[in-house]
Structure 1
Amino acid sequence: MAVNPSAPCCYNLEEGSLSARQIITVTNTTKNSDNKTTTFTDIIQPMIVELIGTIFFILIGLLGSCSNENNNNSSLIAGLSFGFSLIIFVASLGHISGGHFNPAVTLGVLITGDIQLKKALLYMLMQLIGGAMAAGIFRLLSHTSTYNRCHGGATFLVTIKTPKQELGEFTMDHINWWEGMCIELLLTFVFVTIILMVTINNKSKSNFAPIYNGIALCVCILASNMLTGGSLNPARSLGSAIFANVWSHHYIYWIGPLIGATIAGGFYRY
């Protein structure tokens, strides 16, 4: 018996098979689109945010820190500049990337298990590039006299002048490398621990985390600015060292903060 291809039963079967192919095609297209969207929102977008956020966070901090011509209250100005800058950018960009803007913070978060290794390394790369770009922009915007007066915003171990009883005489107290490293280590530990507690810990997580983070940074800079320059951030120190060519004891601004962040991450996790 011959089959009429135009019969309703055969027409429905053929149309049904076409619909199935169309569904498979649409499904595959949707999956590819979802994969692209996931890659952008999970990796590319946070990387861009970390780069841009680090640039402006450090740039504003440097501009504020070097705005005081007489170096009066320099620690207070530096602390407030970096602290308020951090508050602004964590509050506005933190929902996208977490608002790290600091390799030490990213390392601490990595140790807690809240970020994958690949993503953490990409964050750190963007932060270091951002720190260098911020220092470069700061150099372009600053007058030579202003730039030289504040050593390009570079961090280094401070020499403290202590007046003697004799008029016009001073004793010179030098901060040793191990003292500077301990200061950077301890204060980074405090800073990163506070960040982890108010942003990750379910019991102490707060909507006011950006404010707490900024205040914590401000306090730590106030405590260390007249001793080590108050870095707590390898990206902040590296950029200024490159453009100002100030490399004295630069290694302590890597070793101290990274060890401090490692201890903070381990303290939180274990």
Structure 2
Amino acid sequence: MKAYKKYMAELVGAFTLVFIAAGAVCADFYLRREGGQGLGLLGISIAYGVVMIVVIYATSYISGSHVNPAVTISFWISKRMDPNTAIMYILSQITGAIIAGLALKVLFPEALNTVYLGTCMLSPGVSIGRGILMEFIVTFFLVFTVYGTLVDKRATAGFAGVAIGMVTLFGAMIGGTISGGAMNPARVFGPAIASGQFTHHYVWWIGPILGGIVAGFVYDQLFADVRK
């Protein structure tokens, strides 16, 4: 398969993921502004989890459906991907996320200076350390699930999308009360570029990337098939 097809799949996948996940936050704001109940944390988390399922089934056979720099960096560190390919994956993911953020800026202009187009923020009273720890933990679960379903050949075929989507949903629901439960630097970076909101932005790079690296190390050391 041509390499550019993998990069385009990562770009389109990241665009879709960020547009729906961050767009759900924007839609929730618009609904509440009009006096409705809004989507709430559960609705926003469901949107994130379901779009992850969709993206995985749509692109996994093309690029592996990383759509997340934390996943790609984990693969890079665990030597499942060469550096040049990893860099191109990350650039593709970030590009897709930025395009999604700009699209949301056009579609939801009143969400620009209110919910910052769905950019994750630390909840009031939450320290930087707590935010990083939350993102570390929920990303660990996510990347561990990726290794156990998409990477490990012993896994039951066809269930990776559902498994990863569900852990994304639960991670967003639990992490949403602390750090937004992004589990993905691109998920935050795209809306941040479009909205200009970069407060404590490094939280959503440090936590997810460390969580992904540790998940890959733990899986390789304790659970991977040593016969491969």
TM-score by length of 2: 0.89
Q: Displacement of 1:205 after TM fit? A: 4.5
1:232 maps to what in 2?
Answer: 183
1:94 maps to what in 2?
Answer: 60
Q: Displacement of 1:267 after TM fit? A: 1.1
2:225 maps to what in 1?
Answer: none
1:116 aligns with 2:97: no
Structure 2 unpaired stretches of 5+? 222-228
Map Cα deviations across residues 103-146 of structure 1 (whole Å, 9 max, x no partner). 0111222233332221111100110111111100111111x334
- Give the aligned CA root-mean-square deviation in angstroms: 1.5
| Greater mean deviation of Cα atoms: 118-127 or 239-248 | 239-248
Whole-Å Cα distance in 1 between the matches of residues 160 and 80 of structure 2?
17
Q: Is the 8 A contact 2:24 2:39 kept in 1?
A: no
Pair member with larger Rg: 1
Q: Which has the higher contact order (CA 8 A, sep 6+)?
A: 2
Whole-Å Cα distance in 2 between the matches of residues 51 and 260 of structure 1?
23
1:207 maps to what in 2?
Answer: 158
1:262 aligns with 2:213: yes
Q: Is the 8 A contact 1:112 1:268 kept in 2?
A: no
Residue among 124, 131, 138 paired with 2:104: 138
Q: Displacement of 1:42 after TM fit? A: 4.3
2:116 maps to what in 1?
Answer: 151
Structure 1 unpaired stretches of 5+? 1-40, 160-173
2:201 maps to what in 1?
Answer: 250
Q: Displacement of 1:73 after TM fit? A: 5.2
2:25 maps to what in 1?
Answer: 65
2:171 maps to what in 1?
Answer: 220
Q: Is the 8 A contact 1:109 1:196 kept in 2?
A: no
| Greater mean deviation of Cα atoms: 183-192 or 197-206 | 197-206
Q: Displacement of 1:206 after TM fit? A: 3.2
Whole-Å Cα distance in 1 between the matches of residues 103 and 134 of structure 2?
29
Q: Is the 8 A contact 1:65 1:77 kept in 2?
A: no
TM-score by length of 1: 0.76
1:84 maps to what in 2?
Answer: 50
Runs of 4+ with deviation above 6 angstroms: none
1:180 aligns with 2:121: no
Helix, strand or coil at the partner of 2:100: helix
Report how many residues are paired. Answer: 215
Q: Which amino acid aligns with 1:111?
A: I
